[in-house]
Amino acid sequence: MARILDSVLGHEKPVQVLLSAVADDRLAGTLIFAGTSGIGKKRVALGLAQALVCERARTACGVCGSCLRIEKQQSESLMVVEPSGAGIKIEQARDILQFINLQKLARARVIIIDQAQVLGPQAGNALLKALEEPPEGTHFILITSNIASLLPTIRSRAQAIRFQPLSLVDLRKITSAEDWILRSAQGSVESAMQLKDEGADWGVIRNEALAVWAHLFDGRIESSYAKLRELAPDRGASVFVAQVWQKWLRDLLLLNSTAEADLPQVRDSLINLDHLLTLREASNLGLDELGELSELSLRLEQDLVHNVDRSLAFENFWFAFKRALSGESVSLA
Ligand SMILES: [Zn+2]
């Protein structure tokens, strides 16, 4: 057994900042770990908890009873709170307050609140005082993929640590998924695992979604689009198609704003590198059109997620898509 932090991939800088704050005894009482979901923020939070409660070493030994219990999430000095249902409820906030009022058993105690963006105003306000000034030796770690939606009163009282998506190199160390999956995951282990393990033939659906773009200028786009809709018969697959298009358009915007000579430098940033030829053909579209199409595909995803009728959502998208390409302005209102 080693320290949790020794098994964390990437995140060298945040880990170093946190450990040196622990070593110097100047770690903020309330921390926000912000960054894309599925990149290992919670793992770092648990590693930090080890560093705070270890009986033997200032920055964790990984082998003492305290360290092992943190690793198993069975420590009396650790509380991990996750949303129950849609949000973090007032009852959970009360549990936290009760926990921090107990007699402290180790030199520190850590409360990790996962997906803190769903902390509702009621629960948030109940915790406000504790978050503002945690009792001595008590540390809050709020984990979030969307720091902007944390209550402003909480944000202003905490120190935010930003986590970057993992590099392709690190992702390759964790999973053996195909290259397009690793690139689509955009640094998130969670996304890569989902695409790899969910069973649906995402690769086939993706190729068909991209074929629509390959037929952009050859008159076969209508039949390609019809085939795609057959291939993506349910909501999950349809949302996936909308996301494939968003990533495609993101690549086009990147290519569009990159000079020919600088192309080698952006290759590794391209999600759809395996369709480079089609990308380059379509990258002649103007920035305005690309921006508009990006918004349309975002809107398609939102419609699908919010249970707009699937056929209707795709029809609306297709109508606006064609208008955008024929140079007419499209109202997104
Ligand atoms: Zn230890």
CA of 104 to the centre of ligand 1 (A): 17
pLDDT in tens, 211-225: 988 887 777 888 888
CA of 24 to the centre of ligand 1 (A): 18
CB 184 within 8 A of CB 191: yes
CA of 63 to the centre of ligand 1 (A): 5
CA of 47 to the centre of ligand 1 (A): 11
DSSP 8-state code for residue 259: -
CA of 2 to the centre of ligand 1 (A): 9
CA of 222 to the centre of ligand 1 (A): 63
Residue 9 has pLDDT above 60, yes or no: yes
Mean pLDDT of 90-110: 90
Determine the pLDDT at residue 134. 93
Determine the pLDDT at residue 200. 64
CA of 19 to the centre of ligand 1 (A): 14
Mean pLDDT of 305-324: 87
Residue type, position 13, single letter: K
Residue 274 has pLDDT above 60, yes or no: yes
- Please provide the DSSP assignment of 85-141 as one string: TTBB-HHHHHHHHHHHHSPP-SS-EEEEETTGGGB-HHHHHHHHHHHHSPPTTEEEE
pTM over the 0.85 mark = no
CA of 5 to the centre of ligand 1 (A): 12
CA of 306 to the centre of ligand 1 (A): 47
* 222 or 48, which is more confident: 48
Weakest mean pLDDT among 24-28, 222-226, 312-316: 222-226
Determine the pLDDT at residue 199. 62
Determine the pLDDT at residue 333. 31
CA of 52 to the centre of ligand 1 (A): 9
CA of 158 to the centre of ligand 1 (A): 27
pLDDT in tens, 121-139: 889 999 999 999 999 999 9
